[in-house]
Every structure is written in structure tokens, then in C-alpha cells.
Amino acid sequence: MPENRSAALDAAADGLAPTAALVGELLELADALRDNPPLRRALTDTTLEPDARGRLAERLVGRRIGPGATGLLARAVALDWPSGFALADALEEQGVRIGVRSGDPEAVRAELGACARLIGAHVELDQALSAHGTGPEERSALVTRLLGPRLSAAALVLVQHAARCGGRVGRTLAGYEEIASGVLGRRLARVTVARALPEDQAERLRAQLARLYAAPVDLSISVDPDVLGGVRVLIGDDVIDGTIAATLDQARRQLA
């Protein structure tokens, strides 16, 4: 069922023009659902018929958003969701997908990945963006000041939204990068190495993973000296750990 819901929303969203206004409306809808328990309950009330939930959504928020977002919301609430938060996550994902399409998808994917890795590599920045005492607009202003000059307009909107949401912003952006790879029809492989991979080795790894998963693959490569050597790959729920650190850890467990 989750795959059916996702496919139905993808198909509906792909028929919409990817405008900045639509992206903003979908992301705001996701935030509103997370912040408003009565709205969550109303739009996921399974005692109502699907069409009735759609009409309710149009009545509650239709005057505040454009026809594209209204139609997609009505399509979304007509599906059965396990929780209001799941509906919010689905609307956020569609906002990200449309945001990626609103720019150069290849460039936006690369920008999201670069931001995720940059934030993950700088502990102080990660902490500043996840601090409870920092407000949403302060976090958005911080990433705009630090990262805005390097980003396209499409990527900046998504980075700002991730910052306003708080939590682990780097992790959120890594999720957005994976969504962007999906828009491009690819799988995303997160690769961790002790030192930067030469281009020819990266291409060989990409080709091997593409054969293994029977799909085109994007690489998101992070450097972590603690792995000592070798390569660790995370793709979907699969982990392929060929690092020296993992080998040593396994040996220690066997000797214990």
C-alpha cells in the first residue's frame, strides 16, 4: 500500500508545472499538518469517505493556496494514511520533488548533497541548526547567509525549509538528495571512504553498483579518516561495509 500511495501522488504531482509558488505551498501544508493536531485528525479521518476528505481539505485550506496544491492535497487525503504525520511527510516529499524539477534537477541534487555533507562535517554548524533555542527564521537566515551564495534558487528554497524545520538538518538534506536522485530515475548510494576517491575508482564503483541493483546509481561520497581504508556503501536499507575499521571490529568481536 505505501508504494501505491507514493506512486499515485508521484503521478499526480508530475502533471503539475514545477513553480516556486507550488513548492512553497506544499511545504507549508506539510508544516501546518505537523503543527496542527485537529487538522491532522480531520484530513486522515478514515470514518469519512475519500471524496469527503478531499472536499473537506478544499474547504479548509483551498482559499489559501493555488489550484495545483489544492488538487494535490485533495488527491493525497483521499488515500488512507497510517497517521497525519505520514500525510505530512508525503506532502513534504512532493514539495521536494517539485522543487527539484523547478530547477536543473542534476544541479539541485548535487547542491543538496553538498550541503548535507558540509553540515555533517562541521559540528558547530550542525549544532547551531539543531539548537532548540534558535528559531525557525534564525536558522533559515543562517543557512541563507552561509550557503545561499553557492546555491541555485531551487536548492536554496529546499535548504531554507530544512533549516526552518530544525532537527538534524544535514540528515534532512541527505533525505532530500535521495528524493532528487529518484526524480532523475536513479538510486542514491552513500559512500564513505578514508580519503577522496580518484574519479576512475568512483566510476568503477558506480558501474558495479548499477549492475548489482539493475538501476542507474548516483554516488554521494563522504570522507571519514576513522574508517581507515576500504569503502562503506549505504543504498536504501542495504549496507556494504568493506572498510578496514569494520574488519578490525569484526576481528575484535571474534577474539572477545
Residue 250's pLDDT band (cuts 50, 70, 90):
low
* Whole-number Cα distances in Å, 73 to 62, 91, 123, 200, 244: 9, 8, 37, 45, 48
pTM equals 0.89
Give per-residue pLDDT as tens, 172-199: 999 999 999 999 999 999 999 988 989 9
Residue that has been written with the C-alpha cell 501544508 in this structure: 29
pLDDT tens readout for residues 7-37: 889 999 999 999 999 999 999 999 999 999 9
pLDDT score of 120: 87
Of 61-75, 128-142, 238-252, the least confident: 238-252
Summarised one tens digit per residue, pLDDT across range 95-110 is 999 999 999 999 999 9
- Does residue 230 come out as left (phi exceeding 0), alpha (psi in the -120 to 50 range) or beta? left
